[in-house]
Amino acid sequence: MSSQSKRTIWILLVCQFLICLGMSLIFPVMPFIKKEYHFSAFEMGLMSSLFALVQFIGSPIVGRISDKIGRKPLIVWGLLVFGLAEFVFALAGHLFWFNLSRAFDGLSAAMVVPTSMALAADLTSLKDRAKVIGWLSASFSGGLILGPGLGGILANFGYKVPFWIAGILGLISTLVAWLLLPSDQNEEFKSHTEDVQKDLQDSTWTQVKSLLSPAMTTAFLMIFVAAFGLAGFESIYSLYVNEVHQFGLGAIATVLTLNGIISLILQVFFFERMVLWLGEVKLVRWAFLLSAVGTVVVIYDHSHWQIIVATLVVFEAFDLLRPAITTLLTKMSEQNQGLLNGINMSLTSVGNIIGPLISGALLDINYQYPYLVVVMFLVVAFLISFALSRLIARHQFG
């Protein structure tokens, strides 16, 4: 890659990290917004789901628009929308404005995340593309992991402070992208246009049906369960431990910060070793089992330190699930990688929509119901993983 391409990639990494950081800042302050404005748990779940719903609807539409008008305008406008949405959330005093802010957050993620991936493909050769997409995925995960912890720390100065800070960072990143990203007329932007167009042409319903073998369909099902489980667990976690176990803001922030640190260490330094040691399917199986056991402890234990340990086990298991299943998918088919990752993201979005809605509604009925449903899904996925092993062996994938 040229120096200009490398600089562009670094700008994309920072911009995507900020978007994902902003989307996850809300989790530790949810109990205080709920109490301040007397919202129900379902209304809080709806607030979380709106982000994923708009992102799910907007991503394919934005992708096509970026092919027509260029990558840079979508990225710059997406960052601007993100910054303004954070300011709206900080100023909001009514459910409509909170929901509107989260919806525009979802739109900004739809504008920035897939467009950044497309731009990375434009700028890189086939040799470097996987590495660069991996960097972008790490920035995506890093923002999601660190956001709750940072939000909890900043909330000590006021529960809306995280959103003022995110809004300012959004405006700064908008200026950086506008001034430093090369024009779409730059030749490097177009160096791999033919490859991108070919991928788009190949992503048809015919290719989708060709991918839906029993093994692949089972893996897709696990993606949904992992997304549903994480969203269902995380979206109400701060509400649950605050109201059931009397965790204060400091305790919630400590848990989420520890989770961010441990997750990054696991993903950066140990994930590859664990895959080599256990293989993807066994790693997925153990992650589902450990997350189910940890969730049961969170439900029935009343010792704060044991709940904290159990929470960390659940979060780390989920943070290993997603890359393990994604790695498995890429090995199960050497073709249609773009389509595979598109389905992966879509199923993740659906899980992110349904999880908070169901958990929020069940929390209004009984505090134990949301996590009991999560445990049920995780146990079923654990059992399905044994069938997945046989299906993969039968079809000789990987």
What tokens were used for 28?
């530790």
Query: What integer pLDDT is reported at residue 106 of this predicted model?
Result: 85
Domain termination site, one of 165, 200, 235? 200
What Cα–Cα distance (Å) separates residue 266 from each residue in 2, 5, 280, 346? 31, 29, 15, 25
Q: Are residues 258 and 376 located together in one domain of the fold?
A: yes
| Per-residue confidence (pLDDT) for residue 200, from 0 to 100 | 46
Q: What is the predicted pLDDT for the residue at 310?
A: 92
List, in sequence order, every beta strand (DSSP E) within the chain: none
* pLDDT of amino acid 84: 94
Q: Looking at residue 96, what is its pLDDT? A: 92
Q: Are residues 191 and 224 in the same domain?
A: no
In a 10 Å sphere around its CB, with 0-12 CB exposed, 13-18 middle and 19+ buried, how is residue 277 labelled? exposed
Are both 189 and 242 inside the same structural domain? no
The residue among 62, 25, 28, 46 whose CA lies nearest residue 170 is 25
| Phi-psi sector, 40: left (phi>0), alpha (psi -120 to 50), beta | beta
**Are 113 and 73 members of one domain?**
yes
Are residues 251 and 377 both part of a single domain?
A: yes
Residue ending a domain, choose from 175, 200, 225: 200
Residues 23 and 150 in one domain: yes
Q: Which domain holds residue 244?
A: 203-398
Q: Can you say whether the dihedral through the CA atoms of 265, 269, 274, 280 is positive or negative? A: positive
Q: Give the pLDDT of residue 87.
A: 94
Q: Tens digits of per-residue pLDDT, 172-208?
A: 889 988 988 877 666 555 544 444 444 444 444 555 5
pTM: 0.66
Domain count, the chain: 2
Last residue of a domain, one of 200, 224, 252: 200
Q: Which of 378, 134, 116 is nearest to 267 (CA)?
A: 134
Are residues 94 and 211 both part of a single domain?
no
Domain co-membership, 368 together with 390: yes
Residue ranges in the chain whose pLDDT is less than 70: 1, 60, 63-64, 67, 118, 121, 124-134, 137-138, 141, 145, 184-212, 330-346, 393-398
Looking at the structure, tell me whether residues 352 and 383 fall in a common domain: yes
CATH code at position 396: 1.20.1250.20
Q: What pLDDT score was predicted for residue 97?
A: 92
Sorted by sequence, the CB contacts under 8 Å of residue 360 that are 6+ apart come out as 40, 41, 42, 43, 44, 45, 46, 48, 235, 236, 370
**Which residue intervals of 92-125 are DSSP H helices?**
95-123
Pair 314, 387 in one domain: yes
| pLDDT confidence of residue 69 | 76
What is the C-alpha separation between 71 and 271, in angstroms, rounded?
A: 32
Q: What is the pLDDT of residue 21?
A: 79
